[in-house]
Amino acid sequence: MGYCSLCGRHHNVGFISTRFAGTDGVSLETAKWADVFDQVGFSCFYFAGELDRAPERSFLVKKAHFQHPKIKEVYRKCFGARVRERSVTRKIHELKRELKDRLYEFIEKFEIDLLVPENALTIPLNIPLGIALTEIISETGMPTIAHHHDFFWERQHFMTNAAWEYLNMAFPPHLPTIEHVVINSSADNQLSLRTGISSTIIPNVMDFENPPPTIGDFQSCGLDSANRAPTGDDYASDVRQALGVGDDEMLILQPTRVVKRKGIEHAIELVHRLGMKAKLIISHASGDEGYDYERRVREYSKLMKVDTYFVSNIINEQRGYTANGRKIYTLEDVYPHADLVTYPSTFEGFGNAFLEAVYFCRPIVVNTYSIYTMDIKPKGFEVIEIDGYVSDAAVRLARKVLTEPRRRSRMVKRNYEIAQKYFSYSVLRKKLKNLISDCTGCPLGNDD
Mind listing the pLDDT tens digit for each residue in 11-28? 899 999 999 998 788 999
Residue type, 447: D
Domain that holds residue 282: 239-422
* Residue 79 region by backbone torsions, left for phi larger than 0, else alpha for psi between -120 and 50, else beta: beta
Q: What CA–CA distances, in Å, run from 76 to 63, 150, 160, 162, 170?
A: 16, 20, 12, 10, 18
Say whether both 293 and 403 belong to one domain: yes
Q: 248 and 171 share a domain?
A: no
My answer on whether 435 and 403 are in the same domain is: no
Same domain, 415 and 429: no
- Say if 224 falls within a structural domain: no
For 365, the 3-state DSSP assignment is strand
Local structure of residue 50 (DSSP, 8 states): S
What is the count of structural domains for the chain? 2
What pLDDT score does 228 carry?
38
Q: The whole model's pTM is what?
A: 0.88
- Asked if residue 228 is part of any domain, the answer here is no
Whether residue 199 is found in the same domain as residue 245: no
Q: What is the pLDDT of residues 356-392, one digit of tens each?
A: 999 999 999 999 999 999 999 999 999 999 999 999 9
Does 234 reside within a domain? no
What is the tens place of the pLDDT at every residue in 139-196? Answer: 999 999 999 999 999 988 899 999 999 999 999 999 999 999 999 999 999 999 999 9
Supply the CATH number for residue 133's domain.
Answer: 3.40.50.2000
Residues 346 and 375 in one domain: yes
In a domain, 101, yes or no: yes
Same domain, yes or no, for 195 and 249? no
181 and 277 assigned to the same domain: no
* Phi, psi (deg, nearest 5) at residue 142: -70, 135
Residues 274 and 263 in one domain: yes
On whether both 435 and 340 belong to a single domain, the answer is: no
294 part of a folded domain? yes
Q: Is the dihedral of CA 274, 275, 281, 285 positive or negative?
A: positive
Using pLDDT thresholds of 50, 70 and 90, give the confidence band for residue 308: very high
219 part of a folded domain = no
For residue 420, is it left (φ>0), alpha (ψ between -120 and 50) or beta? Answer: alpha
Q: Look at residue 215 and tell me whether its pLDDT is greater than 60.
A: no
Residue 225 lies in a domain: no
What rounded mean pLDDT belongs to the chain?
Answer: 91
Do 430 and 360 have their domain in common? Answer: no
Same domain, 40 and 120: yes
Q: Is residue 343 part of a domain?
A: yes
